[in-house]
Chains A and B, each alone.
Chain A
Amino acid sequence: MENRRLFLFKGVMWILAGLAAAVAIVRFSLGLGVSTALSDSTPWGLWIGFDVMGGVALAAGGFVMAAVVHIFHRERYHAAARPAILTAFLGYGAVAVGLLFDLGLPWNIWHATIYWNVRSALFEVAWCVMLYLTVLALEVTPTILERTPFQKTYRFFVKLALPIMILGIMLSTLHQSSLGTMLLIMPFRVHPLWYSHLLPELFFVSAICLGIVMVMVESTVTSWLYRREPEMEMLAGLARLASIALACYFVMKSADLLLQGKLATVFDGTWLANLFILEMLLSTVIPMVGFAFPAVRRSFRGMWFLACCSVAGFVLDRINASGLSQVWATRRFYFPEWTEFAISLGIVAACVLVFFFIQERFPVDPHGLEAVEAERKARATALPAFAPFAQVWLGEGWRKSAKVYSFLFVLALAVGLTAAPKAEPVVDTRAVRAVGANILRIGPGPRYVYFDHKKHQDEAGGRKSCALCHHLHQKGDVGTPCVVCHENLFLPTSVFNHDAHVSALAGNDSCAKCHGKGEPIRVTPTKKCSECHDKDMMAANPVVKTFASKWAPSYKDAMHTMCIPCHEEKAKDVTLKLPNLGRCGACHNGGTESEKAYTAEFPAGTTAGARS
C-alpha cells in the first residue's frame, strides 16, 4: 500500500509552490507595491522577518549538529547530522531566493561582491551567507557521492569534511549574530523590549536553541511521514540539550532586561509587552520546563509538540524584532498581503520538496533509503492505483505522482494568477488645482504646462482683468480655481446642484418655480440659470463665452477654447514678434520628454499660421 500520508503532504507542498509561482510573476512584472503591503514607514515586512531573519535562524541546525557530532564526537546524534546539514543547505538557499523577492533590484545582488562597505552589518551578513552556502554545498557533497561510482572524489570530500565543518561553524557564528547587529542601529525603531546592546549575542544563542529544536521537529516529522520508528534515544538527548540551551538563553534575556531596567515594561500590559510574553513563553519557558521532565522525553508527541512550540516562538521573535515591534515607533500598522504569505510558504514548500527528493535517493539518514527501497518493492506488487474521481489508471509509481503533482501545481498557478492583484490602471482624471503659481497640471500622469500668471494678468489689463478668466469671480472670492467646476480633465461636469436648489427654495412646493406650472415635471424645459442668477453671474465676455447650460466643459476643453483663439491672434500680430505663440509647444513645453519632442516638432522658423 502506498504511503498516502506522504502523498497528500507532497500534494499540499506542490499547491503552495504553484501559488508562489503565480505571485512571483506578479511580483517581478509589477513591482513590490502591487504584491506587498510594504510602505515607506514599514519598508521591511514578512519576507525579511520570516524568510531572511527566520530562515537563517531556522537553518542553524546545520552548524549546531556539525559541532555536536564532528567536534564534540557525540556519536549518538550522528543520525541527525546529515539531515540537519541538508536542511541548512536548503534553508540558506531559501534565504537567498527569499531575498531575491524582497530586493527592489534583485539583478544587482552580485554587487555585494564588488562594492564593499565594511561598516554595514548587512554587508557582513551577505558575505557570510554567500560563503556559508558554498561551505554547505561542500558539506552536502559526500552525501550525494557516497553511493555513486565516484569513490575517489567521495573520499577526497570526506577528508575535506573537518576543516570545512569548522569553517562553517566560524561563518555561522558571525552572521547569526550579525543579524542582531543589523538592528542595533535602530534604537528609535525597535521596541525597548527587543532592543539591547546584547542583540548580537542573544541572536547567536537563540540560533543555537532554534537549531536544536528544529532538528527535533525535522526528525519527528520525517519519521511520522515515512512511517518509520522514531529515534527516541537521539530525540531525548536533543531534548536535554535543548533544555540546557534554552535555560542559557532565558537567563541571558532576563539578566539583560533586568540590567537595562526594562523588567517593568514586560508587565505593563500593552499589546507589544503581551506579545513579548507570548513569544518568551512559546520559544523558551514552556519547552525549557517541558524538556526537563523525563516523562516528556520519553513521549514522541510531547517532544514533537514542544519542539514545534519553540520553533514557532523563535520565528515570532525574529519577526517581532525586525518588524512587528516597530509599530511602536512608526505608529503605522502593517499586515502582510496574502501574496507575501504565499511567497514565504511557497519557498518553504519548494525546500521541503527538494529535501524529500534528495532524501529518497541519497543516503541522508541511515534508515531512510532502506525504508524507501522497501516501499518501492511493496508498490511493485500492489494493485494499480486509480485516480480518486475519474477512475482512470494514472500509471505506476513516479508516473502517477508526476501527473497528480503537476496537475496540482498548474491548478494552483492558475488560481494564483487569477486572484493575484493587478496593477491599477490610472482612471483618475480629475483635474487638480495648480500646484504653484506658474504650473498647471494637465493630466493623470506627470504632465503639466507652464503658465506665467503675472504676464497674462499684465497683458489683460492688470488687477481688473481677473474676471476675464476667473469668470465666477465674486466678492470675497479670490479667483475661484478652474477645477471647482471643470472637475474632470476630459469629461464635462454638471455644475447644477438640484438638492441645494430644492432646499433653498422651500422644498417640494418650489418645483414650479423652475419647471413651469401645470406641466409634467421633466428635465426640460426649465428656466435658464440666468433668469434668476443674472446678477450673480458674470456676463459672457470675449474670453469666456457662454453660460447657456449647466454643463461645465472638461478642463482640457475649457483651457483650449479659452487660450488658443487669443494665442493664435497674438501670433499673427507681426508687431509682437511671437510667431510661435499659436503652437502647442508654446504651453506644452515643460513636461515629459514626449512633450519636449512635441515642441521640437515645430522649429523656430515656422509660424502658427503655417501649421493651421
Chain B
Amino acid sequence: MIENPAILTDVTKCIGCEQCVVACKKVNDLPANDAPPRPGSTPDGLSADRWTTVIREPDNHFVRKQCRHCLEPACVSVCPVGAMQKTPEGPVIYDKAICLGCRYCMMACPYGVPHYEWDSPNPSVRKCILCYPSLKSGKIDKPACVASCPTQATIFGTRGEMLAEAGRRLRAEPSKYVQRIWGENQVGGTSVLYVSDISLDFLAFGDGRQLSAAPLPPLTWGTLKAVPFEFLGMGVLMGSLYWVIERRRKLMDEKAAAVAAGEDHHGE
C-alpha cells in the first residue's frame, strides 16, 4: 500500500451519477437503501449506511463528501481510548472493540463526518476508512469510489502527486477554477483534496470560517501537557498552605498559653 494515500476530487468533472456511493456500499457491505435521515441532522446525505455522498449544489455542481482523513485528525486526538486511529500509512480507521460510544469524535470533527448508528442498542461510529483493509491486503489498488468513477472526477495517488496534479489543473485553466486547493492547508492538511469552480467552505461547520491552517489537536494538548505540573503544583500549594496555617495556629496557641501562664504567675 502506498504511503500517504490521497484522493483528489475535481468538482467540475463530477456528473453526480453516484456510482461511487454504490461502489462504497458494495465494498463495505453497507445496506443498499439508506435509513431515513434522523430529524435534526445535517441533510448532506451522509449517514451510518452511506460513507460517501454527492451533495447537489445549485447550478449542477456535484460535490462528493467523504471523510477527509486529516493529517492531524481531531477525532483521533480526542478519543479517550484510541478507538479512532491514524494508520501509519494515512487513513483514519475505527475499532469498535475498543470504543466506549462517547461520541467525542463526532463533536470534534470539523466536517461532521463520523455518523452514529442511532437505532441500534449496540451502536458504532461509521465513516469512510479509505478502503483501508482492502488496500492494505492488496485486494484492490485504489478505493472503490475512485475505481468506479466513470469520469475520473475523483482520482487516487500519493498526497504529493495529488497536490501536484491539483496545482497543474489550477494553472492550466485558471479561469475555470477557484484558485485554491481545498484540504491543502486547512486544519493542518487533509488527505482528501478538492479543486472546484465554486467555494467548498460549506463542507465544514460554521462555513469553515473558524478553521485556520493550524491543526486542531494542539489546541487541547497545549493545556493538557501542563496537567502533571498543575497537579503537583496544587498539591505543593495546598500542603504548604496547610503547614503555614497550622504552624501559625500552633504559635498563637503557645503564645496564648504563655500569656495565660504569665497572668497566672502574676496573679500568685
Contacts and interface: CB of A to CB of B under 8 A. Distances in A.
Interface of A: 28-34, 37-44, 67, 70-73, 102-106, 108-109, 111-112, 115-124, 126, 162, 166-167, 169-171, 173-174, 177-178, 181-182, 184-189, 200, 328-334, 423, 432, 435-439, 441, 445-448, 591
**Which 10 A-B pairs rank lowest in CB-CB distance, beginning with the nearest?**
A104-B101, A446-B31, A33-B118, A436-B22, A115-B81, A123-B80, A39-B40, A39-B41, A105-B101, A43-B103
A51 to B, nearest CB: 13
30 contacts: A31-B122, A32-B123, A33-B38, A39-B40, A67-B238, A73-B246, A108-B101, A115-B81, A115-B82, A118-B224, A121-B224, A122-B78, A122-B104, A166-B238, A166-B242, A167-B235, A174-B230, A181-B223, A185-B74, A187-B216, A187-B219, A330-B205, A332-B40, A332-B42, A333-B40, A334-B40, A435-B21, A435-B32, A446-B30, A446-B31
Given A120-B104, A184-B219, A41 B42 contact: yes
Q: Which residue of A109, A185, A334 has the most chain B CB atoms within 10 A of its CB atom?
A: A185
B42 A109 contact: no
B188 to A, nearest CB: 12
Nearest to B42: A41
B175 interface: no
Q: Which residue of A104, A119, A445 has the most chain B CB atoms within 10 A of its CB atom?
A: A104
A177 B234 CA distance: 13
A435 B33 contact: yes
Contacts of A116: 81-82
A436 B104 CA distance: 34
Contacts of A436: 18-19, 21-22
A60 to B, nearest CB: 14
Contact of A124 (B18, B82, B224): B224
Interface residues of B, number: 75
Q: Which residue of B38, B80, B96 has the most chain A CB atoms within 10 A of its CB atom?
A: B80
B69 interface: no
B79 A39 contact: no
B238 A41 contact: no
B121 A29 contact: yes
A104 B104 contact: no
Contacts of B217: 119, 185
A334 B80 CA distance: 25
B140 interface: no
A55 to B, nearest CB: 15
B112 interface: yes
Contacts of B116: 32, 40, 43, 104
Contacts of B267: none
A104 B18 contact: no
A103 B224 contact: no
B242 A181 contact: no
Contacts of A119: 77, 217, 220-221, 224
B101 A435 contact: no
B47 A188 contact: no
B131 to A, nearest CB: 17
B115 A40 contact: yes
Interface of B: 18-19, 21-22, 25, 30-33, 38-42, 46-47, 49, 74, 77-83, 96, 98-104, 106-108, 110, 112, 114-124, 204-206, 208, 210-211, 216-217, 219-221, 223-224, 227, 230-232, 234-235, 238-239, 241-242, 245-246, 249
B99 A108 contact: yes
Contacts of A105: 96, 99-101, 122-124
B40 A173 contact: no
Given A332-B40, A435-B32, 10 more contacts: A32-B123, A43-B103, A43-B107, A70-B242, A117-B82, A120-B77, A126-B80, A187-B210, A188-B211, A435-B21
Q: Which residue of B21, B98, B107, B217 has the most chain A CB atoms within 10 A of its CB atom?
A: B107
Q: Which residue of B31, B74, B205, B208 has the most chain A CB atoms within 10 A of its CB atom?
A: B205
A167 B49 CA distance: 47
Given A169-B234, A173-B230, A436-B18, A37 B40 contact: yes
Given A71-B241, A71-B242, A170-B234, A121 B31 contact: no
Contacts of A331: 42
Contact of A73 (B204, B205, B234, B245): B245
B32 to A, nearest CB: 4
A188 B100 contact: no
B154 to A, nearest CB: 16
Nearest to B214: A187
Nearest to A173: B234
Contacts of B42: 40-41, 330-332
Contacts of B103: 43-44, 104
B217 to A, nearest CB: 6
A328 B96 CA distance: 31
A528 to B, nearest CB: 37
A126 B39 CA distance: 31
Contact of B78 (A178, A185, A189): A185
